[in-house]
Structure 1
Amino acid sequence: MTRRIVRTGCQLAVFAVVAFFFVLFLDNYYFVLPQSIHNHLPLHNERLIITDITVQTCSALNPLNKCMLDPDKWHRIDKDLYLNTGWVNKAFVHIKRKSEEELTEDDKVIVDVRIQKLDPAISEKAQASEKWESRPAKLWLKRSKKRHASDGKNTVTAVDVLFGADAVEPRLGWQLVNGALRLENGENKEPRLSIRRGAPVKIEREKQVPRIRKDGKFKILQVSDLHLSTGLGACRDPEPPGHNGGKCDADPRTLEFVEKIIQEEKPDLVVLSGDQVNGETAPDSQTALFKIAGLLAEHKIPYTAIFGNHDDEGSLSRNAQMSLYQSLPYCLAEAGPNELAGVGNYYIEISAHNSRHSALTLYFLDTHAYSPDENKYRGYDWLKPDQIEWFRNTAEHLKEAHKHYTHIHLDMAFIHIPLPEYAVEGQQRVGEWKEGVTAPGFNTHFKDALVEHGIKAVSCGHDHANDYCAMSQNANKDGDLWMCYAGGSGFGGYGGYGGYHRRVRVFEIDANQAQISTWKRVEYGDTGKRLDEQVIVSAGKIVAPQQ
């Protein structure tokens, strides 16, 4: 009997320990990440006014503590300020908010936010009625009692959290507060507040779609596999080894490279062709995504985006990221039809310079991530029948409208994971094939659909060290297309294949000649050269490579 009691007691103790850590896991996983997916959505109601902000810190060892203030009064921004790395503590920003109609004469509204050690009033000539109020984590608020302050341009109407010294805020009407919140105990993830003042700025997306230039040219910069992180990121396989004294922060070096190419090539459109976010190193995917979006917004360049296999391995799903993209200036990306597999199946029409007719159609498709049937088809996923049917129907539907264009209409497509045909031996190829083609094991023959509907080139990412354009041996006949790689651009992703330099691909369309040319630019080495420059389409027909 005694042994049974002891055994039962031990079992209960073991059960209690397991339950403790299970609940702790759920608390860290469920209560932060899934809700943070929607973090950018609930705070943007243009009728809400922020009346208070605070930081709540609690023990990470107590599974029963949800680290929440009274939910009837406070809204929690569900991003752990320690990014779930704090063994001792976790912390969350909480805000109070009211609609304009709910504000009373006695309510205070926030008109300024600072993060610093000392009271900002010490260095400012603050009026007695506008004292700064202290909050945890060195947060200071200036709040006004004026009833009509909510009508002013300084009133804070939304709050968000981003991370890292290199965080940027690309959303119109938003700005980062200088400095990071000061937390104790735990690795410093440099959580930063971003605030919006006034009503949301509405983006007129149709006005941002570019046209063929006056000279008949249109330039596309394809940037693939950025692999951006939360924070500066660590370089993988930097080339050359030891460059810059061995110091290499992945994201700053990657973005500096992209910016240099933007300044030199002056593209009309940038295509982000997947793996913008490195899921493993991006516990806050929003921060990572905003870095490239901020750079493109700064240069006022329209851009599109599709997803790779790593984008949604961080804190945000494809749907949540697409929602973010669509809230940003200069972004032309679309979620596509809800009934289709994947997120980001859409097309964009580029009009002629002096005409409303389309001169160029660009198709974008989601190639998903990993194989749904590893036992039968190892590796990566494939385009689904409904996506291929959507492409066929869309291309067929657009043919009638394209007939009214007075020149030869051109079509291109962009995906992330290469098609199986990229790996066919005996191809005519221009560029380097340095690693295996990690295409899906199952071939849906999407290439046949592309050829059938007149697509002249399809370009992908995914295999960082492959940068060739290829076509099959029947290139001199009608009925083929070019299959190109962009090459990997980001130092957060691998590049260790024989001194590989990060690179991007450029496509230049000459609408007057119905011509497509392409070349590559590299981050190190022959940085000023166009590598493997070639004409792939002329007079609307495929051009075989020179032997």
Structure 2
Amino acid sequence: MNTAKIKLRFSDKGNFRILMMSDIQESAAYDERSLRSVCAMLDEAKPDLVIWGGDNCYGPEIHSYDDLRAFLDVFTAPMIKRKIPWAHVFGNHDHDVELDIAVQQELYESYPFCVSAHTDASVHGKSNFVLPIYDQTGEEVLFHVWGMDTNNNCHDLNHLVPDGNLYKNIDLDNNPIHIGYWEGLYFDQLMWYWNTSCALENLYGRKVPGLLCMHIAPLEYEMAYANPEQCVLNGHYDENLSPSVFNSGLFSELLQRGDIQTICCGHTHYNDFEGMFCGIRLCWDACAGYRCYGADDRRGGRIFDISADDPWNLHTAMIRTLPLLDKAEI
């Protein structure tokens, strides 16, 4: 049920730091600034766990197993060198790779310090997981890090409509909430989360607070985006969010379960905000790579600090890499 291959635990001082970085979007033909960006964040933040938040590679340039391995050799090396555990979720560009997503997952998991482990092969996506974070003694689970695979784009859903062209059906003249054409979550993934969350509560006799990492945002992010004052948005929110094409029901599910209190997404590169909607913290983490589009002064990742004394109330902030590139140790 819990998938960590390395036992993750709070420090002796009762702290645990997560660094999420999305949209590295690189290949073996990488921009060195992207690699320096990853290294700079690791050295500045000194995280206990790194999460790659999707669009890890740039799929259109990855045509084979060897291409993907060449990318991973370069960009996992900073974590391996520093002996930092890391996990990943897939984004749409990872699904663009000319390689079955299950094969990709197996390759990712083969790297040292990777704690990713797809939990249930019967559900959609291949990067759905839950990682337990133990207390200082390694005996009690205080926090969970969840990952969910938001899959690719709406073309994978063409079989659901009579004319076999979903995009034609959703490309309407009036689109009040900037719906994207992204695939999002399937109901079996929601069932996996619900059943796993309930089983963990039964196992521990209590709910365990958690952070959910995913690439494409659920539709409810649009509510915070449209109401920045009421939802207390901090940071930049000047790019359309491009959420999944349909409301999967994830947000309602999270409210009803009550364990995941924070979500963090990537996907659009200018946004780096955090806000609150219905008591759930909604975060974005800009982009980590330098070859993809974005604003250089926003590139980086998002830090989450959790205290063993109060794991329900985490603290989060962005880390910017532009000022750190020159001193980054590759």
Fold similarity call, TM over 0.5: yes
Determine the structure 2 residue equivalent to 1:493.
292
Return the alpha-carbon distance in structure 2 between the equivalents of residues 463 and 320 of structure 1: 26
- 1:513 corresponding residue in structure 2: 310
Segments of 5+ residues of structure 1 without an aligned counterpart are: 1-204, 233-249, 475-479, 528-547
Q: Partner letter of residue 222 of structure 1?
A: M
Aligned to 2:216: 417
2:252 maps to 448
CA-to-aligned-CA distance 1:127-157 (integer Å, 9 cap, x gap): xxxxxxxxxxxxxxxxxxxxxxxxxxxxxxx
Aligned to 2:320: 522
- Give identity over the alignment, percent: 27
Look at both structures and tell me which one has the larger radius of gyration over its CA atoms.
1
Q: Which of 474, 480, 503 is 2:300 aligned to?
A: 503
In the TM superposition, 1:27-46 aligns within 5 A as none
Equivalent in the alignment of 2:162: none
Alignment of 1:421-432 (within 5 A): 421-424=220-223, 425-426=226-227, 427-432=231-236
Secondary structure in structure 1 of the residue aligned to 2:314 = strand
> What amino acid maps onto 1:508 in structure 2?
D
CA contact (8 A) 1:430 1:470 kept: yes
Maintained 8 Å contact 2:297/2:320: no
Map 1:338-417 to 2 at 5 A. 338-371=121-154, 372=157, 373-377=166-170, 379-403=181-205, 409-417=208-216
Measured after TM superposition, the shift of residue 525 of structure 1 is: 4.8
CA deviations 1:412-465 (Å, max 9, x no partner) are 111100111111121321111021010012112211111222211011110111
CA distance 1:312–1:230, change in 2 (3 Å): farther
Alpha-carbon distance in 2 for matches of 1:450, 1:221? 22
> Contact 2:53–2:266 at 8 Å: present in 1 too?
yes
Distance 2:294 2:5 in 1: 38
Query: Is the 8 Å Cα contact of residues 226 and 488 (structure 1) preserved in structure 2?
Result: yes
Residues 272 and 298 of structure 2 are in contact (CA less than 8 Å); yes or no, is this contact kept in structure 1? no
Secondary structure at the residue paired with 1:314?
Answer: coil
Rounded to whole Å, the distance in 1 between the matches of 2:209 and 2:309 is: 11
Q: Which amino acid aligns with 1:501?
A: R
How many Å separate the matches in 1 of 2:126 and 2:89? 8
Say yes or no: does 1:217 pair with 2:15. yes
Q: Does residue 128 of structure 2 align to residue 324 of structure 1?
A: no
Pick aligned residue for 1:269 from 46, 49, 58:
49
SS at match of 1:374: helix
What letter matches 2:244 in structure 1? P
Task: Give CA deviations for 1:316-350 in whole Å, capped at 9, x if unaligned.
Answer: 22111111111111001112211101111111111
The 1:429/1:522 distance shift into structure 2, 3 A limit, reads same
Q: Matches of 1:206 and 1:503 in 2, distance apart?
A: 25
Residue 75 of structure 1: aligned partner: none
Q: CA deviation at 1:275?
A: 0.7
CA distance in 2, matches of 1:441, 1:324: 30
Equivalences for 1:136-155 in 2 at 5 Å?
none
Residue 285 (structure 1) aligned to one of 45, 48, 68: 68
Cα separation, 2, equivalents of 1:444 and 1:313: 22
Instruction: Give the 5 Å matches for 1:47-86.
Output: none
Q: Shift of residue 471 of structure 1?
A: 1.9
For the pair 1:304 / 2:71, whether they are aligned, the reply is: no
More helix by share: 2
Mapping for residues 457-496 of structure 1, pairs under 5 Å: 457-472=262-277, 474=278, 480-495=279-294
Q: RMSD between aligned alpha carbons?
A: 1.9
Corresponding residue for residue 177 of structure 2: none
Shift of 1:409: 3.6
1:526: Cα distance to partner? 8.7
Partner deviation per Cα, 1:103-123 (whole Å, 9 max, x = no partner): xxxxxxxxxxxxxxxxxxxxx
Distance in 2 (alpha carbons) for counterparts of 1:526 and 1:468: 21
Residue 290 of structure 1 aligns to which amino acid in structure 2?
D
Q: Which amino acid aligns with 1:215?
A: K
Residues 274 and 416, structure 1, Cα contact 8 Å, conserved in 2: yes
Offset of residue 308 of structure 1:
0.4
In 2, Cα distance between the equivalents of 1:347 and 1:206?
8
Q: Provide the C-alpha distance between the structure 1 equivalents of 2:168 and 2:269, rounded to a whole number of angstroms.
A: 26
Task: Give the distance between the partners of 2:307 and 2:85, measured in 1 at CA.
Answer: 19
> What SS does structure 1 have at the residue aligned with 2:255?
helix
- Displacement of 1:388: 0.5
| TM-score under structure 2 length normalisation | 0.84
Partner SS for 1:428: coil
CA distance in 1, matches of 2:16, 2:240: 32
Read off the aligned partner of 2:136 and give its amino acid letter: H
Query: Within 2, Cα distance between the matches of 1:221 and 1:524?
Result: 17
Query: Greater strand percent: which structure?
Result: 1
SS of the residue corresponding to residue 396 of structure 1 reads helix
The alignment covers a number of residue pairs equal to: 294
Kept in 2, the 8 Å contact 1:344–1:364? The answer is yes
Checking the alignment, whether the CA contact within 8 Å between 2:266 and 2:287 is kept in structure 1 is yes
Q: 1:396 to 1:507 in 2, by over 3 A?
A: same
